């Protein structure tokens, strides 16, 4: 039976107008050695558990560069693979009491209820080269935030109408980012929770992973309907990352926050520069 990668739909008129349909879907992922896919999953799971970001910051570039997937298909496949990885990570944080469930619920309302739907719609409208550039810019902005001293987190204030609204709006932005870029949304939620709400980093990471699970499920369901996710690759990557995500979440609880931020920022800059370099020239129109 052909995989989702073989069933890429014909480009829509808006894709053709914007040049999005000109980019091939990429190589057949079934020909990629299983070991390579497993390594991608292990690495993505480790980053997910360590930084609370879903692992898409590594998965999307890896699917494009290592597995030779098209940019659009890589975003959809990454979002599907995030589900088991985030689940394993949130279990690790929850065991240490590092999940703010009330904040997570409000974030889920915005992220899974609204944002993921907007993001997955935009995924099928925005040209693929633009997706790659947008993804790289998000990573650079996140890296800059990581190395700026934001002071000590004092803990989330009591929930008021305005605090609840801020969490829902943050969720909408995170969900849109998740659906569009296949990154889980943690790159938005973790900085927002630590900088604007004073939530300690470990709690922000755990809460972010709790939100990522339903958000990724909603986005994946919509992507599968449009045949824009390779579920075979997603399953292998996701299940491979379960153990490494759980172990990394245990490490993250006691990790020095400044060291963690600098390491993550360095990784983001490296991957972003690589993607910008690879997409420096527009695709020829066909």
List average pLDDT for each run of 10 residues in the chain, which is 286 residues long: 41 39 48 83 88 77 85 88 92 92 94 88 79 80 72 66 90 86 77 80 89 91 89 93 91 78 79 78 56
In the chain the first and final C-alpha atoms are separated, in Å, by 30
The 10 Å Cβ neighbour count of residue 35 is 8
Q: Can you tell me the distance from the alpha carbon of 5 to that of 69, in angstroms, rounded to the nearest whole number?
A: 8
Q: Can you tell me the distance from the alpha carbon of 175 to that of 181, in angstroms, rounded to the nearest whole number?
A: 10
The 10 Å Cβ neighbour count of residue 178 is 35
What are the residue boundaries of the structural domains of the chain, listed by start?
33-278
Query: At a CB cut-off of 8 Å and minimum separation 6, what does 116 contact?
Result: 175, 176, 178, 179, 215, 216, 218, 219, 222
Which among 231, 140, 215 is positioned nearest to 179, based on CA atoms? 215
What pLDDT score does 3 carry? Answer: 42
What pLDDT score does 284 carry? Answer: 52
What pLDDT score does 234 carry? Answer: 93
């Amino acid at each position: 039976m052909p995989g989702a990668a073989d069933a890429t739909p014909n480009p829509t008129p808006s894709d053709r107008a914007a040049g999005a349909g000109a980019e091939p879907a990429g190589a057949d992922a079934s020909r990629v050695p299983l070991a390579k896919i497993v390594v991608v999953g292990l690495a993505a799971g480790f980053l997910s558990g360590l930084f609370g970001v879903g692992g898409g910051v590594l998965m999307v570039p890896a699917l494009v560069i290592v597995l030779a997937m098209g940019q659009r298909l890589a975003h959809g496949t990454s979002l599907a693979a995030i589900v088991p990885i985030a689940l394993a990570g949130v279990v690790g944080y929850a065991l240490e009491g590092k999940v703010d469930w009330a904040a997570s619920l409000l974030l889920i309302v915005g992220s899974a209820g609204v944002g993921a739907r907007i993001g997955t719609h935009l995924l099928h409208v925005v040209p693929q080269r633009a997706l790659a550039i947008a993804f790289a810019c998000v990573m650079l902005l996140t890296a800059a935030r990581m190395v700026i001293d934001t002071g000590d987190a004092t803990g989330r204030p009591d929930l008021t109408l305005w605090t609840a609204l801020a969490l829902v709006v943050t969720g909408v932005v995170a969900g849109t980012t998740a659906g569009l870029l296949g990154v889980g949304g943690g790159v938005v939620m973790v900085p927002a929770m630590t900088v604007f709400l004073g939530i300690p980093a470990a709690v922000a990471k755990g809460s972010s992973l709790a939100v990522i699970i339903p958000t990724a499920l909603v986005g994946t369901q919509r992507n599968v309907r449009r045949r824009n996710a390779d579920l075979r690759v997603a399953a292998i990557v996701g299940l491979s990352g379960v153990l490494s995500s759980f172990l990394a979440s245990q490490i993250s609880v006691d990790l020095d926050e400044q060291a963690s931020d600098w390491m993550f920022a360095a990784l983001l800059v490296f991957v972003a520069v690589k993607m910008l370099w690879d997409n420096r020239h527009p695709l020829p129109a066909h």
